[in-house]
Homo-oligomer: A and B are copies of this chain.
Amino acid sequence: MKGKQKALIEAKAKVLKALGHPTRLWLAEQLADGEKCVCELAEPLEADFSTISKHLSVLKEAGVIAGQKRGKMVYYRLKVPCILKYMPCVEAVIEAGIKEQAELLE
């Protein structure tokens, strides 16, 4: 694996890793139908604001979301919405696993 190839795969892994945490995936999914401010995002999650803020910054750092400050609120949005189009396939992976386990019980 050479330099350029390696850099690309590392960049891709970073994006996937950013989404690879339940809280962050949930946050990204909340942005599916438009931007939301941190307060809207944080409310349903029973976690510290600082925790949410850090998760958002991981997503931002990975290039998944972007934030814009308006007034005293910060609004986040998906930068590349196709990122959520993947979820049906991810769910298919999970379903395949469940199906397999069910077959073991037969």
Interface residues of A (CB under 8 A from B): 1, 6, 8-22, 24-26, 29, 44-45, 62-64, 79-80, 82-83, 85-87, 89-94, 96-97
Contacts and interface: CB of A to CB of B under 8 A. Distances in A.
Main secondary structure on chain A at its contact with chain B?
Answer: helix
A94 B8 contact: yes
Given A63-B94, A89-B86, A93-B83, A19 B13 contact: yes
Given A6-B22, A17-B21, A79 B94 contact: no
Contacts of A83: 89-90, 93
A45 B2 CA distance: 11
A93 B18 CA distance: 12
